[in-house]
Amino acid sequence: MLRAAAAEVAAKQATTRLADAAQSLSGLFAINKPPGISCAGLLDYFKRNVGRSHDAIPFAEHFEREHQLRQSGKKIFRRRYALALRVGHGGTLDVEAAGVMVVGINRGCKQLGAYLSGSKTYLANARLGASTDTQDAEGLVVGTGDAAAVTAEAVEAVLPQFTGRISQQPPMFSAVRVDGKRLYEYARGGEPAPVPVRPRAVDVHSLRMTYFSNPALGQRSGQQVALPPRVADYFAEGRYRWNPDAPEMRVGHTMAPYAHDPRLPALQLFVRSGGGVYVRTLIHDLGALMGCGATMVSLVRLAQGPFRVGRDTIDAEDLPYIDRIISAMRHADGVIQQGGVPPTQS
């Protein structure tokens, strides 16, 4: 009896020490966001598990729960947190996007504004010949076009029109707020936005096509940059797996099963931009200009400010461990100091 009581007291004391340590955290660090989970879902995992170390809920379990919540189509309500941590991030990545996500804890949140508007670098893969309502492979096909005659030279010729200061219409499936609601909430409910959403001026510093292929012409140019293994595996399995016996893609079909359709022309873009740029919209608009439609099928944020994916990031599975968070914050401080460049500059 006494041993059980002593063990309970010791456990409570250990929990209190961990809570105190977690609440004392303050600063910035960068995480390598995996595809398939929202930024809010990833921060939810952090806030619920930081300091729990080996007793934390496995990330794979949390990932699956988030997936089920999204599939239900219902609004996600998150429970209150035991720790009074202030946590935020420096710029949304779509659910299916991966890569660098800068996170601020407590006083570190005050520094996040610079990352929202600062430079970012992306690697995007796309398919020509179809456009979707979400402008990525998660959505439904709303238009198809004949891309059989599109050449690498033709794509290269229009890229300058999407470089520099350009006007971009925020997509309906986005986190932009209108009258207190996110645009994606109106879109999922089948409602139009209550007021017109105006185009925004954004900066695309550079736009380079690293790879192009069109099987109808037998043309292939450039060298395709390989996705990180975790990202490549995600987009090669499940609903993204290509089935050679799949019916011909039509309007109303989900694009995901056709993301790797070898009959569709493919291109890969290296994008360096300022804040507020929707890469999927850039690709959608490029496809519209080409007259055949285009859909982004994967996106990796390679860099945000001075932070580079892999070199400066930790993984989602590291989030429950305070020592790893502290190490990541110290590394982030070093990256910022060594870079000598404010995060709002390229």
C-alpha dihedral sign at 30, 33, 38, 42: negative
Q: Write down the H helix ranges in 159-278.
A: 183-188, 229-236
- How far from the centroid of its chain's Cα atoms is residue 166's Cα? 22
- Contact, 115 vs 30, CB < 8 A? no
Residues with active-site annotation: 94
Three-class DSSP category at 257 = helix
Question: Pick from 172, 151, 59, 122: which is nearest to 296 by CA?
Answer: 122
Q: Write down the H helix ranges in 31-111.
A: 39-49, 59-72
Question: Pick from 24, 28, 16, 21: which is nearest to 334 by CA?
Answer: 28
Q: How far apart (Å, rounded) are the C-alpha atoms in residues 299 and 20?
A: 37
Q: Any residues with CB less than 8 A from the CB of 206 and at least 6 apart, and which?
A: 163, 270, 271, 272
For the chain, state the CA radius of gyration.
22
Cα 142–143–147 angle (5° rounding)? 150
Cα 31–210–116 angle (5° rounding)? 35
Q: How far apart are the first and last CA of the chain?
A: 63
